[in-house]
Amino acid sequence: MADTSRTEIIEFRIQALAPNVSEDEVRRLLDEAVAEAVGEAEGVEEARAEMPGAFAGVGETVVVVLVLLGKAAAAGAAGAAGKHFYEAVLKPRLQKKNLLPSADAAVTEGDARK
C-alpha cells in the first residue's frame, strides 16, 4: 500500500516584538506555536520548525517549518494545505506569542524521508 502522506515546506521570517529576547526563547516560543497549531489543524499529522540561519537578536530570522500532511490534506493541490496551515492556524499563534511573522510564506512540496 502506497504512503499517501505528503510533506510541505513553509519558509517565512519572524521578528520577536519584545526587546532582548534570546535565541533559546524564540525557539521555545516557535516550538510552542507549532505544537499548538498542529493540535488544532485538520489534516496535519506533525510539523517541525527550524531556524537555519544565524540569530542576530534583532531584526528578522528565517524559519522553515516542515509539515507532514495526512491522507486527506495531501490529496489537495500542492502548497494549498501548507499555505492554509500557515495563514489560518500557525500565524495567529505566532502573533499571540509576540513573534511577528512575515505577511506571506513560500510553500513548496518536500520529501518526507528527510
The domain limits of the chain are 6-110
Residue 70 pLDDT greater than 90, yes or no: no
| pTM attached to this predicted model | 0.84
Cell numbers found for residue 85: 496551515
- Compute the average pLDDT of residues 25-38: 94
Q: Residues of the chain with pLDDT > 90: what percent?
A: 41
Residue 57 pLDDT greater than 80, yes or no: no
Class of domain 6-110: alpha beta
Q: Which residue has the higher pLDDT, 53 or 21?
A: 21
Dist. CA 67–CA 78, nearest whole Å: 12
Closest by CA to 46, choosing from 97, 85, 96, 102, is: 85
Dist. CA 9–CA 108, nearest whole Å: 5
Closest by CA to 36, choosing from 27, 25, 47, 26, is: 47
- Compute the average pLDDT of residues 107-113: 68
Confidence of residue 3 (pLDDT cuts 50, 70, 90): low
- pLDDT tens across 7-23, in order? 899 999 999 888 888 88
Amino acid at 57: G
DSSP class of residue 98 equals: T
